Amino acid sequence: MTANPILLQKKYSRIIACFAKKQGLSLDTALNFFYHSEVYQLIRDGVSDMHCMSDEYLAEELEQEYSQKI
């Protein structure tokens, strides 16, 4: 299933803001990491209805990916 692109853009911004706050990163750094992450690809491609997960959950998934790559 795919989500409405406008709603996804709003969801992305909430996830990025939450991730940046938790990691103490600038929004630009968090944005750059997000758009190159596996989490973004899964949400964008509609895999496992990731877009239905909470923003907090997706930010935590992003944090895990970030800690593995850093």
Question: How far is 50 from 56, CA to CA, in rounded Å?
Answer: 12
* Domain range enclosing 43: 5-69
For the chain, the domain total comes to: 1
Residue whose C-alpha is closest to residue 26's, from 34, 54, 67, 36: 34
| pLDDT tens-place string over residues 17-68 | 999 999 999 999 999 999 999 999 999 888 888 889 999 999 999 999 999 9
Of 53, 50, 60, 52, the C-alpha closest to 21 is 60
**Measuring CA to CA, which residue among 29, 30, 57 is closest to residue 43?**
57
pTM of the entire predicted model:
0.92
